[in-house]
């Protein structure tokens, strides 16, 4: 894939129902398989629990003893990140512990947050907001208070990076950064076509 590569594709929309979805996925997969070869086609599912489902749906579409390449978005992002860095991916439990430690030492500029930080539920609520913003990869810049939360998110991620850690919510955005980086692209891209299935957005 060259540095100026572009993506194009076709949206296939089918009525709700398992048979219709499976038939549409098989047909779309065949087109890419015939053009690129099954080893060069990655099928991306919306959740890890769907990987086995679509592996089974597409197994007969791969000739010989081969298997279709099926991965979820998060699992594939994890593979990309692991191919580029040795950073440890935090479990949800360890992430909760570390973010609470981090927040315990944070001095809030906002009077609103300074008062709220005295509440028992505050650290958990802010940690959840930080996690949601990280998964969504959105900048919190609508109000001074949200700007401060964004600065906390950025500082937390910088602190994790200094300790060779990354939280799960960073996996997709980090993988996209690696895919966009010409220095890493040849290391992490070994496919020619992607078929994403069961996405609603």
Residues 107-122: tens digit of each pLDDT: 898 888 888 988 889 9
Q: Give how many domains the chain has, as a whole number.
A: 2
| Tokens encoding 144 | 């001074």
Regarding whether 114 and 70 lie in a shared domain, the answer is: no
Q: Provide the domain limits for residue 78.
A: 18-84+171-196
* pLDDT at residue 197, rounded to an integer: 84
Regarding whether 177 and 139 lie in a shared domain, the answer is: no
Regarding whether 80 and 177 lie in a shared domain, the answer is: yes
Entry pTM: 0.80
- Residue 195's DSSP bridge partners are 43
Residue 6 in domain: no
| Tokens encoding 63 | 């000739």
Taking residue 116's Cβ as centre, other Cβ atoms within 10 Å add up to 15
Regarding whether 113 and 160 lie in a shared domain, the answer is: yes
What percentage of the chain reaches a pLDDT higher than 90? Answer: 35
């Amino acid at each position: 894939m060259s540095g100026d590569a572009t993506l194009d594709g076709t949206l296939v929309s089918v009525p709700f129902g398992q048979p219709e979805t499976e038939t549409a996925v098989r047909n779309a997969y065949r087109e890419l398989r015939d053009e690129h070869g099954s080893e060069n086609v990655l099928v991306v599912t919306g959740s890890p629990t769907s990987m086995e489902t679509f592996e089974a749906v597409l197994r007969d579409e791969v000739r010989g003893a081969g298997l279709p390449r099926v991965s979820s978005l998060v699992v594939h992002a994890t593979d990309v990140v692991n191919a580029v860095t040795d950073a440890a991916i935090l479990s949800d439990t360890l992430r909760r512990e570390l973010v609470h430690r981090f927040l315990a030492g944070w001095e809030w500029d906002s009077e609103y947050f300074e008062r709220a930080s005295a509440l028992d539920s505050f650290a958990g609520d802010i940690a959840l907001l930080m996690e949601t913003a990280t998964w969504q990869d959105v900048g919190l810049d609508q109000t001074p208070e949200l700007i401060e939360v964004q600065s906390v998110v950025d500082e937390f991620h910088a602190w994790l990076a200094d300790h060779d850690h990354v939280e799960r919510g960073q996996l997709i955005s980090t993988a996209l950064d690696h895919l966009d980086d010409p220095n890493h692209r040849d290391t992490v891209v070994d496919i020619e076509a992607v078929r994403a299935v069961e996405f609603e957005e």
